[in-house]
Structure 1
Amino acid sequence: MATPHVLALPFPAQGHVIPLMQLSHRLVENGIEVTFVNTELNHALVLDAMPADGSGRSLDGIHLVAVPDGLAEGDDRKDLGKLVDGMSRHMPGYLEELVGRTEASGGTKISWLVADEAMGWAFEVAKKLGIRAAAFWPGSAAFLDITLRIPQMIQVTASSTRKETSQFAPGMPPLHTSKLPWNHAGAPEGQPAIFQLVTQNNEAKDLAEVILCNSFRDAEPGAFKLYPGILPIGPLFADHQLQKPVGQFLPEDTGVRGIRQFHRVQPAAVRGACAGAGARWPALPVGGAARLRHWPEQSVARRVQGPCRRQGHDRELVPPAAGTYVPRHTCSVVRTAYRHRAVLPSIGQVLAHRAVACFVSHCGWNSTLEGVRNAVPFLCWPYFTDQFQNESYICNVWRTGLAVAPGPDGVVTKEQLSGKVERVLGDDGIRERVIALKDAACRSIAEGGSSHDNFKKFVELVKLKE
């Protein structure tokens, strides 16, 4: 019997590439061949970030390939509206050509497509080519729930004369109508295209045989009860040692070099800050890095994407492409853009270190799961799409952290940051709940756990001959 061959297609963003690459490693471990499809730009970044060990375009059975994204060379790919429009119109043809080239070259016939749910057009390509398909959702089940309930949400917001908070089911994170994800997805002029893409994806997902989700049942019982067809298989990670490449767009130190400076720090002495891949801090004013440097505790700044620059108005600062870890009673945001290619430890390595006591996070789902998996309490600082809902999970449902609150001028002060960190660290209840949530996550992926069993079912489905 031929080895099953899966085509993995993420949405072209760092937070989507990493979890699908983690899933791809797991599939390879179970005897499944994987071809991982990035856009040409992201493909180049991934190859450039990989260790120069001669491994070429293959990572232990994962073959890296690229297709164009449909945009011109000078187009702004951070404009989500323009990006999703270009992909939807051009990438279906490119993907179909890729499948044809792969099979014409004598390679193993592609039997399955595992595509990001945000790439709904890909399921139509799979149906056309007779390829079985699974949708992969890299975020929370609650966020998927809210996208599937767009008609209801439109009714709620249209019928309400005031801003209000909605909660779909017990155990789900309450969300204010002003924080709906499509209201925080980039420039206003691009949001109609994004909204249209979401609604199209909701229809196309029905072409997939299964929806896999990078979450676990005990973290979101209410969401999984609403949609029992969504299979949680997380928290995903490539390997316990955090050594396998997972599609990072920037080089990472997978050894001890980048993390060694923590070894001299007392346990729980470092307050960790992470703005995430491609993130910006809208509440951080120009010059805000200087304010952060006055934190009275040892701190750590996580690298982010894009050079330091003003965005839109005077109160927005885009952090640099790479940060640096400074265990010296300071928090630095250091100007090291892509051209500098700084090598840093992964956020997983940082959060796993005994020196880290608190995680100042943008609340991206990948970072949230890393914090959960390492039992680190949160100080939440969201700004984009699902991050507000993840913040609500952390603060209102799991109660494993607190959130910053900008003042009337939109600035989060150093006094508030410092005070909130101390409140988080001084709360024994938060510490107990953080440990309990980590234990639940570990049980889910252990032998007999719900995520473990769901993943096994999917592997069996992929290996099943039609």
Structure 2
Amino acid sequence: MGNPHILVVPFPAQEHAIPLMELSQILIKHGIKITFVNTEFNHKRITNALGKEPEGQVHFVSIPDGMGAEEDRNHIGKLVEACLKFMPGELRQLIEKIKQTDDDEITCVLADMTLGLGVEVAAELGIKTAALWPPATLLLALILNIPKLIDDGVIDENGTPLKHEMIQLSLDSPTMSPSNFVWMTIEDFTTQKIIFDLMQRYNKAIEKVEWLLCNSTYNLEVGAFASVPKALPIGPLSKLDKLGNLEVNFWPEDSSCLKWLDQQPPRSTIYVAFGSITVLNPTQFQELALGLELSNRPFLWVVRPNVIEGKDDAYPEGFRNRVADRVKMVGWAPQRAVLNHPSIACFISHCGWNSTMEGVSNGVPFLCWPYFADQFLNESYICDNWKVGLRFEKDESEIIRGEEIKSKVEKLLSDENFKARALELKEKTLNNIKEGGSSEQNLKSFIEWVKS
């Protein structure tokens, strides 16, 4: 028997690849060999972003996702359907090929639990299985409760809400609105149904998984971990992985913003970033620009190439000139380094789980701007449970206005309690990865199991 060799299979999206890459780089330091599977489409994007083939101790391979070159991979329903149909066969072939050509055959598949594919393939082939759940554990608890939610008449068998009062899964979990259940935040019913059906497969997949790891901590999600006893927190991964996650960025990182931040006073700067999928309509984009201008503070704004619906540029007239002396705009930022920078005052965020964990781990208060999926649950944690951030209110035309942005920035930054709670939460969260902390012990046990 050769060395332990793990095949890592993320769901083909930036925010899923990042925590799996962070975990992969931690495992490498323990002498475990890693083969990381991207789709061909995403492998090209990563190569283009880096300007070269990704390199390092992780071995990258790619397989087709079953979609045509011109098809829209931001259409989550089509992407999921194609992956479920094509990827199991591709993974089987890949594992067979590695067996024939590599001295170290695959001894374990570490799959992204949100797609569950790798788990099913590994179980069929008699290979050890582990899974990482990249979102909040609360989302997994919600999904595992789907049969009960149907029985209780909260939702019907298609996942459509029948009751509209807030629900709470456990005493320590935030309340949530059925209209914000993850599948309900997707606009068309067909896609909602695809996602809802996929989630109902998780119950079976979880039974097959020997280890179910989460990029989270007990202190952040007491109620959720009590609801899903099999789930083991090993987070925050972004603070454990010292090598950085450059190899899985879909856009070129612009690290010039770090030098710019060095020139800003401590706790002065607003950081604005909405992850890899959020799209704003031109009116909303303009109001965001005006709100940042009205704040009268320095701001670092990540404006992704495809962030404005149907347009490349929707800045208000004269905006760039008026804010030139206090703004830095980049297409993509080295977010972990940004959030760790002493000049950051707060984070205007879409509340994806990676961003949430990175903000919490650095003691940064939030202004929450969720877009879809689990981001509304994460907003509830930030504002209602941990009390380290504020929500924005939309007007009657569903727009967050510039004045609202200005007012919430002022409210958050004039109240020292937000910063104090954020620093306290940071300390409690990072205690989990210190020696003897629960995340550190779970990770150690997992590594021993992989090597056994």
| Map of 2:228 onto structure 1 | 227
| Map of 2:63 onto structure 1 | 67
| Offset, 1:242 | 5.8
| Offset, 1:330 | 5.7
| Offset, 1:161 | 6.1
8 Å CA contact 2:351–2:375 kept in 1: the answer is: yes
Distance 1:293 1:443 in 2: 35
Judging changes above 3 Å, is the alpha-carbon distance between structure 1 residues 271 and 200 closer, same or farther for their aligned structure 2 residues?
same
Judging changes above 3 Å, is the alpha-carbon distance between structure 1 residues 402 and 289 closer, same or farther for their aligned structure 2 residues?
closer
Distance 2:241 2:233 in 1: 19
Distance 1:166 1:200 in 2: 23
CA displacement, residues 112-141 of structure 1 (integer Å, 9 cap, x when unaligned):
000011222322211121111111101111
CA displacement, residues 314-340 of structure 1 (integer Å, 9 cap, x when unaligned):
xxx999xxxx9x985666877xxxxxx
8 Å CA contact 2:54–2:247 kept in 1: the answer is: no
Distance 2:172 2:202 in 1: 26
Alignment pair present for 1:93 and 2:81: no
Partner letter of residue 294 of structure 1? E
| Map of 1:374 onto structure 2 | 362
| Map of 1:302 onto structure 2 | 302
Structure number with higher helix proportion: 2
**What are structure 2's unaligned runs of at least 5 residues?**
none
Partner letter of residue 82 of structure 2? G
Instruction: Give 1:12-51 correspondences, 5 Å limit.
Output: 12-50=12-50
TM-score (norm 1): 0.88
Instruction: Give 1:72-151 correspondences, 5 Å limit.
Output: 72-151=68-147
Question: Identity across aligned pairs (percent)?
Answer: 36
| Offset, 1:170 | 1.5
Judging changes above 3 Å, is the alpha-carbon distance between structure 1 residues 333 and 106 closer, same or farther for their aligned structure 2 residues?
closer
8 Å CA contact 1:211–1:229 kept in 2: the answer is: yes
Distance 1:181 1:283 in 2: 25
| Offset, 1:44 | 1.2
8 Å CA contact 1:293–1:330 kept in 2: the answer is: no
8 Å CA contact 1:79–1:186 kept in 2: the answer is: no
| Map of 2:265 onto structure 1 | 266
| Map of 1:9 onto structure 2 | 9
SS in 2 for 1:357: strand
Instruction: Give 1:52-451 correspondences, 5 Å limit.
Output: 52=52, 56-60=53-57, 62-154=58-150, 155-158=152-155, 162-237=163-238, 243-253=244-254, 257-281=256-280, 285=284, 287-295=286-294, 296-304=296-304, 306=306, 308-310=308-310, 328=324, 344-451=332-439
| Map of 1:314 onto structure 2 | none
| Offset, 1:73 | 1.8
Distance 1:244 1:131 in 2: 27
| Offset, 1:428 | 2.3
SS in 2 for 1:212: strand
TM-score (norm 2): 0.91
8 Å CA contact 1:309–1:318 kept in 2: the answer is: no
Partner letter of residue 5 of structure 1? H
8 Å CA contact 2:37–2:61 kept in 1: the answer is: yes
RMSD, aligned CA:
2.5
Aligned residues: 440
SS in 2 for 1:383: coil
8 Å CA contact 1:277–1:305 kept in 2: the answer is: no
Distance 2:360 2:184 in 1: 27
| Map of 1:338 onto structure 2 | none
8 Å CA contact 1:234–1:445 kept in 2: the answer is: yes
8 Å CA contact 1:293–1:332 kept in 2: the answer is: no
**What are structure 1's unaligned runs of at least 5 residues?**
312-316, 335-341
Distance 1:203 1:20 in 2: 22
SS in 1 for 2:8: strand
Distance 2:173 2:30 in 1: 33
| Offset, 1:238 | 7.0
Distance 1:284 1:236 in 2: 36
8 Å CA contact 2:184–2:192 kept in 1: the answer is: yes
SS in 1 for 2:18: helix
Partner letter of residue 225 of structure 1? A
8 Å CA contact 1:40–1:67 kept in 2: the answer is: yes
